[in-house]
Structure 1
Amino acid sequence: MLILMNVVWIVPLNPGIVIASSISQTEAIALQPIIDQAQTGDVLVLAPGTYLGPVVIDKRLTIRGEGVVTLLNHSADSAIQINSNGVKLQEMNIQQDGDGESAAIVVRADQVTLEDLVIHTGGYGIILRGANGGVIRNNIIRWFIPKGQAPGTRGNGIDLYNSHGTKIMENEITYLRDGIYLENSRNTVVDQNKLYYLRYGIHCMYIDGSYVTNNIGEYNITGAMVMGVTNVVVSGNSFRKQNQNVHSQGILLYDVHTSSIVNNTVEGNRVGIYMEQSSDNDLRDNIILRNFIGVQFLGAEGNQFQSNGFIANVIEAEATDSKDNKMNGNFWDSFQGLDVTNVGTSDIPYAINPFYQQLISNNSAYQLFFQSPGMTFLSDMFTNGKEEWSTDHAPLMKLTTGAPAETASSYGIVMVVGWLLLFLSAVTIIYLGVLRI
């Protein structure tokens, strides 16, 4: 038994497992000496209490805090820097006071696992650089301001660069700059994360062959910003209530190619899906609900756009300088189609009229006349270059895309309430008219 710095190290019968115990609750203990004395391959279980960083891990260790350990770091360095492959860090609370480029955890090694951590940071949460095959799972990452200090520069929650094959799953990230930032990283899985009050919930730059699936983003400027990517799957996500900024979108696609954007729900955003300078993508089975603009295309060519459902958007679609997009079998709730042959699709095509978008791009003051009778009349009269408009040649007569149950039911309730109010208004007017007679 070795006594060191008010810490008792106990080596149990099972070699390779070290338990640090008997920590004073009134005084924080430096964690680095404990790590230095551990052997490669040890499982280090920290006793309840408060420890001090920064620390550098340069050997393969598993460090567990059992949820009752807090690591404080008041320096400008990272609270934890991992330089060795195979390190596992589990069930700890980490407080990183530094802002700007400082981070709670920096990983520069492969096959590192970070799970069940609670991170409060003034700067970045987790940074990976040249780190492959990592697992980042079930962590909570939040912005933190040390008492008595002014807010500094926020960093990203999870930030990857040149780090391939990483799995980022089931994390919750709030109030930082970008929730999950991926750059120059291939074959990454971003799945089942919750992202709130950020600039971009998920920000992808120059990645290939990756998956963004089943994530929830709300109250961000943009739910997912996907830029300069190929062979990426964006599927099963829910991006709602991105509407507090003039540049807010549910999903923003810029310079995206040969990718799949399927089965997503974008609701209550300023723009549901925005696509620019992107080609050869498959946009399918998405629910585009209650956005100011459902979809907006600019310089988007050769994309497949089918089986999407547009419900209760103010403007369903806008398209400028976008051609050769194959649009078929989408549901547009404001479109009055005609199905003579009773096959479920309209014999009348639905064309996206670019008049309003072109008009306000030349003079933004015309936005004051949005949906005015005069603007609607002029838009209906505009037919210049109609053969080049983005057109759904077989729009659906009924919604068949798998909308969430609460979406369909709430939409039906709104319609019923609307008709009831209209009926009551008519009855009231008639009744008052009879009284006056």
Structure 2
Amino acid sequence: MVTTRTTWQTASRVRRALIPLILFFLIMPVSYGTVRANTKPEAIPLQPIIDAANSGDTLTLEPGTYLGPIHIDKRLTISGGGRSTLLNPSPKAEVAVLIRSDGVQLQNLNIQQDNDGEAAAVRVEADQVTLKNLSIHTAGFGIVLREASGAVITNNKIRWFIPKGSAAGTRGNGIDLYNSHGASISKNEISYLRDGIYLENSRNTKVDQNRLSYLRYGVHCMYINGSSVTDNIGEYNVTGAMVMGVKDVVVSGNSFRKQSQNVHSQGILLYDVRTSRIFNNLVEGNRVGIFMQQSSGNTLRNNLVLRNFVGIQFEGAEDNRFQRNGFIANVIEAQASGSQNNELNGNFWDSFQGLDISGDGFSDLPYAINPFYQQLIEREAAYQLFFQSPGMTFLSDMFNSGKEQWSADSAPLLQFELETGAGTGADEGGGQGPVMVVGWLLMFVSVITILYMGVLRL
């Protein structure tokens, strides 16, 4: 009896001793795995690596996280391979990358700029610099050029780094140039910043094939004579392109759509523009498609102005030429005030019922832009409540005062086909427009649908 009791007591003590050991082995792998999962690699300071390099070297960074800010004051090529990230958490208003040497190339690098205000992710103060395949998240500006000519800025993605509670006014511009001539800015994607591409006093600049969305101005141009804005896509901005104080500029092949969320939204805004060419653009679904103010000596040709509230609006625009533009499905096709001596010829107005006696495709009756409604709401904005009411339409038709001074298309086109596709960037001449292409596509879909429904009924 004593032996049995002693044996039971011994077994009980063994069990009590084994329980902590078993629990230790059960918990240890979980704890060890948790520690490993929460361990993050240290950011590697990048400036010492740059300081150790010689001018002309190519630095290919290993995948990982690097610590900024950095200053590049020698001719280097730095590539992150697309898997390297530069962080700039400095509380001071410092740029993440400052370039002060000609010929620097920075490419395939992710940059996170946490400083807001005037601080930029990349600031260039040198010539012939290439910035390529960068992915930038910034709380301030994206790329800033100052007194830097001949830059190539291509295939970059620039977005706002959104801290909670930050107001829209704290955002900077995506790409910002001042007194930086001869730059090529192409194939960049910019969103959720102030202005996508801001150009000031930067002549002979090419802005080509960029995608710009959720901005104030997609492209904002001031004093950039001899430059071009071509084949860009802008959507959901306040204004697609704001072109101001320029001459000898080309705005071609762009698509500016759905700028309509603001009372000042326009597809293309031309202010104080001289001797420039605006052609082959698509402006669709905006509050105002094309707004031209205090501009003269320009040619607007072959633009497709589609489904805007106001197709085109002139204020103080004189001595301009408007030819072969198509105004389709706009609520108000055109408004004009204080705009004389403009040559409107051969445009298509889809609400106009013309008369073609000679059979040449042009109306023998002119299309006059009645300024009654615009003048009325300028004097009393509340009359907008009666827009397109029977009484407003009747009064507008009765208004003929000063008709000889109205802007008028002397020979409206009765059937519309773009000479080249809007949004292609091709020069004027040849080809079929998107209206024809869309028409054929709709006809094809309709035929297939009819056939398909017929098969189902059989």
TM-score, with structure 2 as normaliser:
0.83
Equivalences for 1:3-402 in 2 at 5 Å? 26-75=41-90, 76-146=93-163, 150-151=166-167, 153-401=170-418, 402=420
Paired with 1:133 and 1:310, the residues of 2 have a C-alpha distance of: 39
What secondary structure sits across from 2:117 in the alignment? Answer: strand
Deviates more, 1:395-404 or 1:323-332: 395-404
Q: CA deviation at 1:355?
A: 0.3
Paired with 2:281 and 2:109, the residues of 1 have a C-alpha distance of: 34
Contact persistence 1:25–1:50 (CA under 8 A): no
| 1:114 partner amino acid | L
Pick closer, same or farther for the CA change 1:389–1:412 going to 2, 3 Å.
farther
Pick closer, same or farther for the CA change 1:66–1:25 going to 2, 3 Å.
farther
Paired with 2:199 and 2:214, the residues of 1 have a C-alpha distance of: 18
Q: CA deviation at 1:150?
A: 3.7
Contact persistence 2:417–2:436 (CA under 8 A): no
Q: Deviations over 1:126-159 (max 9, x none)?
A: 000000000000000000024x664570000000
Paired with 1:173 and 1:283, the residues of 2 have a C-alpha distance of: 27
- Extract structure 1 runs of 4+ deviating beyond 6 A: 411-415
What secondary structure sits across from 1:100 in the alignment? Answer: coil
Q: CA deviation at 1:414?
A: 9.4
Paired with 1:352 and 1:414, the residues of 2 have a C-alpha distance of: 32
Greater strand proportion: 1
Contact persistence 2:110–2:134 (CA under 8 A): yes
What secondary structure sits across from 2:383 in the alignment? Answer: helix
Paired with 2:165 and 2:68, the residues of 1 have a C-alpha distance of: 20
| Count, aligned residues | 393
What secondary structure sits across from 1:208 in the alignment? Answer: coil
| 2:68 partner amino acid | G
Structure with higher Rg: it is: 2
What secondary structure sits across from 1:155 in the alignment? Answer: coil
TM-score, with structure 1 as normaliser:
0.87
Pick closer, same or farther for the CA change 1:238–1:231 going to 2, 3 Å.
same
Report sequence identity in percent: 69
Greater helix proportion: 2
Task: Show structure 1 runs of 5+ residues with no match.
Answer: 1-23, 416-437
What secondary structure sits across from 1:353 in the alignment? Answer: coil
Contact persistence 1:143–1:175 (CA under 8 A): yes
Paired with 1:217 and 1:411, the residues of 2 have a C-alpha distance of: 24
Task: Show structure 2 runs of 5+ residues with no match.
Answer: 1-38, 423-432, 444-458
Q: CA deviation at 1:410?
A: 5.6
Over aligned residue pairs, what C-alpha RMSD do you find? 1.9
Q: Deviations over 1:59-106 (max 9, x none)?
A: 000000010100000122000000000000010000000111010000
